Amino acid sequence: MARYIHEHSPRSNKSFVAINCAAMPSELLESELFGHESGSFTGATQTRTGVFEVASEGTIFLDEIGDMPHQLQVKLLRALQEREIKRVGSNKVIKINPRVIAATNRDIDQALELGRVREDLYYRLAVVQFNIPPLRTRSADIDLLCTFFLDYFGSKLGKVLEIDETAMDFLKRYSWPGNTRELENVIERAAILADDVITPDHLGIGIDIDFGLLDEAAKTLTEVADLAAKQAEIEFIRKVLGRTSGNKSKAAQLLGVSYKTLLNKVKEYGLNAPEFKI
């Protein structure tokens, strides 16, 4: 969304830079944002321009800002208020004028209450807000996202890819704790493993039923019981496959079912047998 906003704005011909605030320690993140002078710290062998200079007239996307260290939030607030920065190790003031878009997957109200995000920084950033619901509540979006990722990774790999009905149903029933990023990674993995048709075996994820959301997913006692029984069956099959190091013939004997029945269950639940091999 941040890139879309940038590309459809008067700043579209300027730089767009994205930074994951949770992906690096405080010192490195400060240097990444504001730049540094040669010799300002150990390993700083040359002067570096930070993203606030690179995208001074463009757009900066600060992802996972809820994980930004507190002391760096103070420096970011000053940069936004004063429209100026100083490189690490320098006293020279550099004027800047970027558009800043920030995102977090944290509960922002809770983060504010606990003091993890400064209120003054929040109100400086929260001019226009978008609340994007978690992917598990937007199953209709999974079709669109999968089509996009299939085209993208297919073109990179030189493949024409599609997802079979069982795998798509599996994706729509998965809880997606990592949201769209997790879906992207799952499709990339499947695109690498599959020849042309992606099946549950290529997905590499297991079904987990979030019992805290059962009131949303099921409306009757029978539906709740069905979901609970399915979860118990998945966990039991997973444990037996682990005990047999992925040997389905032995697992079928221990489970008291035919080999074909176990194969069907493994496919239905997307259990990837190789993960159980030692």
Q: Is residue 133 part of a domain?
A: no
Please check whether residues 87 and 175 belong to one and the same domain: no
Q: Is residue 258 part of a domain?
A: yes
Strands 94-95, 84-85: pairing is antiparallel
Q: Which of 125, 152, 173 represents a domain boundary (last residue)?
A: 125
Distance CA 188, CA 108 (A): 30
Could you tell me which residues come within 8 angstroms of residue 168 by beta carbon, excluding any fewer than 6 positions away? 142, 143, 146
Q: Is residue 135 part of a domain?
A: no
Please check whether residues 68 and 164 belong to one and the same domain: no
- Provide the 10 A C-beta neighbour count for residue 33: 23
Query: Residue 169: what pLDDT?
Result: 85
What does pTM read for this prediction? 0.65
Please check whether residues 149 and 258 belong to one and the same domain: yes
Q: Are 135 and 183 in contact (CB under 8 A)?
A: yes
Distance CA 260, CA 252 (A): 9
Q: Is the pLDDT of residue 268 over 90?
A: no
DSSP state for residue 158 in the 8-state scheme? T
Query: Residue 278: what pLDDT?
Result: 43
Mean pLDDT of 49-53: 94
Q: What is the CATH number of the domain that holds 34?
A: 3.40.50.300
Could you tell me which residues come within 8 angstroms of residue 58 by beta carbon, excluding any fewer than 6 positions away? 6, 11, 14, 15, 16, 17, 98, 99
Query: Residue 65: what pLDDT?
Result: 93
Query: Residue 266: what pLDDT?
Result: 85
Please check whether residues 169 and 251 belong to one and the same domain: yes
**277 band by pLDDT with thresholds 50, 70 and 90:** low
Q: What is the CATH number of the domain that holds 212?
A: 1.10.8.60
Q: Is residue 134 part of a domain?
A: no
* Domain count along the chain: 2
Tokens of 183: 């879906």
Q: Which domain holds residue 251?
A: 141-276
pLDDT digits (tens, 9 = 90+) for 54-73: 999 999 999 999 999 999 99
Mean per-residue pLDDT of the chain: 86
CA angle 129, 179, 231 (to 5 degrees): 135
Please check whether residues 96 and 12 belong to one and the same domain: yes
Sheet with 16-20, side-by-side order of all strands: 16-20, 59-63, 99-102
Distance CA 249, CA 261 (A): 11
Q: Is residue 40 part of a domain?
A: yes
Distance CA 223, CA 234 (A): 17
pLDDT digits (tens, 9 = 90+) for 111-161: 899 999 999 999 999 998 888 888 888 888 999 999 999 999 999 999 999
Please check whether residues 39 and 109 belong to one and the same domain: yes
Q: Is residue 131 part of a domain?
A: no
Residue type, 226: D
Q: Is the pLDDT of residue 276 over 60?
A: no
Please check whether residues 119 and 149 belong to one and the same domain: no
**Residue 232: C-alpha distances to residues 74, 209, 215, 220, 258 (Å):** 49, 10, 18, 19, 19
For the chain, what percent of residues have pLDDT higher than 90?
A: 46
pLDDT digits (tens, 9 = 90+) for 172-223: 888 888 889 899 999 999 999 999 999 888 888 765 545 455 455 445 666 6
Q: Is residue 190 part of a domain?
A: yes
Distance CA 237, CA 208 (A): 13
Q: Are 100 and 80 in contact (CB under 8 A)?
A: yes
